[in-house]
Amino acid sequence: MSVDAPSALAPRTGEEVFRALAAPGDRTPWESIGDLAPSLGAHIQHGLGALVGDAGLDLRTRELATVCMLAALGDSAPQLAFHTAGALRAGATKGEVVQAVAQVALYAGIPRTLNALATVRPVLDAHPDAG
């Protein structure tokens, strides 16, 4: 399969990626900051389409990787919560999300992992049908 081949699992535009991950009615980040930092908003929108929307890796896997990265970074609770829900919407199970975050302990430490789990838990609880 070509890396550039379109896939239903990997939406192509930033708007499509956001809508695949977000809850109905959620505002895009580029809309939320458009009046304050329109260039940053455009950069985020482009990045979602160009990187996350690339068909070389399915959206579920990308979201699990994103959850790990945000957990490792720390101090990203709103983004971690959004992408945790996005991972569930993209087909990840609750167990996969928990295992992905647990993996962070080896590389970023126990405190960041515990903080991430504190952010992830209410998201998982809010999605009872996510497996």
The pLDDT profile of the chain, 131 residues, written as one tens digit per residue, is 334 444 445 458 999 999 999 999 999 999 999 999 999 999 999 999 999 999 889 999 999 999 999 999 999 999 999 999 999 999 999 999 999 999 999 999 999 999 999 999 999 999 998 87
Neighbouring residues of 76: CB distance < 8 A, sequence distance ≥ 6: 70
Cα separation, 60 vs 92, in Å, equals: 6
What is the model's pTM? 0.88
Cα separation, 91 vs 19, in Å, equals: 14
pLDDT of residue 11: 52
Structure tokens, 115: 């903080």
User: Taking the alpha carbons of 65, 68, 73, 78 in that order, is the dihedral positive or negative?
Assistant: positive
